[in-house]
Amino acid sequence: MIGCLTSLQPLASRRNVENFEKHARPDRLAFGDIRCGLDRFALHVDVVGVFDQKQRVEIIERNMEFAEDPRAFSGKFREQQDELKRKIINARELLQKVTVPNKILQVVAQAMIQLQVDGHRPDIVTTASAKALAAFNGRSEVLPQDVLAVAEMAQGHRTRRGGAEEPATSEEIKSAFTKAFGPEVST
């Protein structure tokens, strides 16, 4: 969703992906090489399986329902999809008007320094993603909550100390931003 709103294309462009594929051949790829390539992606999410029986049953039922009649299935969610589409269109129009207070920029920079992430891409991606989220939520200014909401997606896969240290954990990211924002912002 955020990718639809921001202009992060240079960070995750087709050229970068092709470069990664060209140089990241499995026959000559060490773990560190993968992490360096992954650092080129703007955002990431962890996809995990569902371990609640009721939710798993719902997944199976929805899958079977879709397989039987994809159009009817899609129609059940048309209203929700139309609302989401409207929000994205409005966010795209608002994005250029969204401001990022200097305090937010200071916090992002401070948190990146504390996390010891490599380069400046993490700072830029975090800020651009927070800006996109503010626009998606219909606001013209980035709030601390926007930064906190996108921080892990923008930081959880970033190299640190030249690749010598594992990416920051969720707890480290949350702690760095909470500390940088100070006591007035709760997570």
Instruction: Give which of 144, 112, 110, 132 is closest to 9, Cα–Cα.
Output: 132
What pLDDT does 144 receive?
Answer: 95
Residue ranges, the chain, pLDDT below 70? 1-42, 45-46, 156-165, 184-187
Dig out the tokens for 61 from the structure: 């039922």
What pLDDT does 9 receive?
Answer: 39
Enumerate the domain spans of the chain.
11-40, 69-187
What pLDDT does 20 receive?
Answer: 46
CATH number belonging to the domain at 69-187, selected among 1.10.8.80, 1.10.357.10, 1.10.287.1770, 3.80.30.20: 1.10.8.80
Bridge partners of 169, per DSSP, are: none
What pLDDT does 40 receive?
Answer: 54
Sequence length of the chain is 187
What pLDDT does 159 receive?
Answer: 66
Q: How many CB atoms lie within 10 A of CB 45?
A: 9
Please give the Cα distance from 86 to 92 (Å, whole number): 10
Please give the Cα distance from 152 to 169 (Å, whole number): 8
The reported pTM is 0.71
How is 58-85 classified by DSSP, letter by letter? Answer: HHHHHHHHHHH-HHHHHHHTHHHHHHHH
73-82 pLDDT per residue, tens:
999 999 999 9
Contact 5, 88 (CB under 8 A): yes
Contact 131, 92 (CB under 8 A): no
What pLDDT does 161 receive?
Answer: 65
What pLDDT does 119 receive?
Answer: 81
Question: 14 vs 3, 9, 10, 100, CA distance in Å?
Answer: 14, 8, 9, 28
Q: CA geometry: angle at 20 spanning 18 and 24, to 5°?
A: 125
What pLDDT does 172 receive?
Answer: 87
